[in-house]
Structure 1
Amino acid sequence: MTFFAELARVNHPETEFVDRMGLIMERLGGTRTMGRLTAWLMICDPPDRSLTELAAELGVSKTAVSTLARQLGMSGMVERVPTSTREHRYRMADGGWAQVMRVQLAVLEQSLDTLDFGLSILGHDRSGQRSRVEDTRDYFAFILHDSDKMFERWKEYRESRLDVNP
């Protein structure tokens, strides 16, 4: 019996949380297992786990967990925990979701050059083609315009919550 099958029998709410986060991650463009992994790392105690433990606890292959941990590490969502052994251990990174958003915004920023190039090859008439490219470029630029302020507000909000809930 897998860890989660046993957990489902004993503590259904944790299993349900992990499974629900899997569905949310799918909606955000990730995989269900990626969502389950991040959810488990949010609530597991102790807060770090080895690849072997994660694979057993989630009922997936160690290779799948290793691949996802590497992807989530590159996005800033999880981090590798230093150990005195060769074992790789992972935990949720503080501010991980904000880092994921920064990565996504960097992609939007890079896409502005491509969209500007697209506009340059379409000429200046207001055809449907140009309008669709302009709309996309304007939307990306709009999102990027206040992103620094949004992160500042998030930092202030997060710090105020930490002051209230130490």
Structure 2
Amino acid sequence: MTDTSESSANDINQFIENIGLVLESAGLTRAAGRIFGYLLVCDPPEQHAQAISHSISASTGSVSTNLRLLVQLGFVEKTALPGDRRTSYRVGPGAWDSVMEDQLRATIALREVAETGLQILPDHAPGRRERLQEAVDFFSFLEENFPPLFQRYHDEKGKNQT
């Protein structure tokens, strides 16, 4: 028979692995996803690289490399704990906003590039123009609808916190 704490630890480890798989399918490394998954559920929320490495059974080099990536992408932030000279990491407040704002910037850049493509293609290139126009239309739609959706989320979140 399985101990409840063991079952819970197994469930948490499976959650961490699942986050790793999901973020790997989104273009990150599985290790980055596992680190992020761990930081979502660890206690305390601030962890140093060596503790992360030990907890997810990954090399310190892999953890270090992937922490830099997660910080750069806005998933994770560096922090310092009083009395500890090591850098700690955590999923910071607003991490989801940061990630989605980066996605919106990429969406805008893709729309701009697709519009440039439309300008350089001759009018008598209908197949090529249609593909680019579809991209422009799609990215324009996202660009128009992301900000109100973010605002709605924050408005509703604010109502629930009062």
TM-score w.r.t. the length of structure 2 is 0.87
- Which one-letter code corresponds to 1:121 in the other structure? I
Shift of 1:43: 0.8
Matched, 1:71 2:69: yes
Q: Is the 8 A contact 1:42 1:92 kept in 2?
A: yes
Identical residues among aligned pairs (%):
28
State the alpha-carbon separation in 1 of the partners of residues 66 and 152 from structure 2.
Answer: 30
Q: In structure 2, what is the equivalent of residue 99 of structure 1?
A: 98
State the alpha-carbon separation in 1 of the partners of residues 26 and 161 from structure 2.
Answer: 27
Shift of 1:14: 0.8
- Which one-letter code corresponds to 2:40 in the other structure? M
- Return the match for 1:50 from 43, 48, 51: 48
Q: In structure 1, what is the equivalent of residue 89 of structure 2?
A: 90
- Return the match for 2:60 from 62, 81, 92: 62
* CA deviation profile, 1:43-83 (whole Å, cap 9, x unmatched): 11111110111111111111211121111112221111123
TM-score w.r.t. the length of structure 1 is 0.85
Shift of 1:157: 2.6
Q: Is the 8 A contact 2:20 2:31 kept in 1?
A: yes
Shift of 1:161: 3.9
Q: In structure 2, what is the equivalent of residue 127 of structure 1?
A: 126
- Which one-letter code corresponds to 2:104 in the other structure? L
* Distance of aligned partners of 1:99 and 1:10 in 2 relative to their CA distance in 1, 3 Å threshold: closer
State the alpha-carbon separation in 2 of the partners of residues 149 and 18 from structure 1.
Answer: 32
- Which one-letter code corresponds to 1:101 in the other structure? M
Q: Is the 8 A contact 1:109 1:144 kept in 2?
A: yes
SS at match of 1:80: strand
For residues 13-52 of structure 1, what are the structure 2 equivalents within 5 Å?
Answer: 13-52=11-50
SS at match of 2:86: coil
- Which blocks of at least 5 consecutive residues in structure 1 are unaligned? 1-6
State the alpha-carbon separation in 1 of the partners of residues 66 and 159 from structure 2.
Answer: 32
Q: Is the 8 A contact 1:8 1:15 kept in 2?
A: no
Total equivalences in the alignment:
157
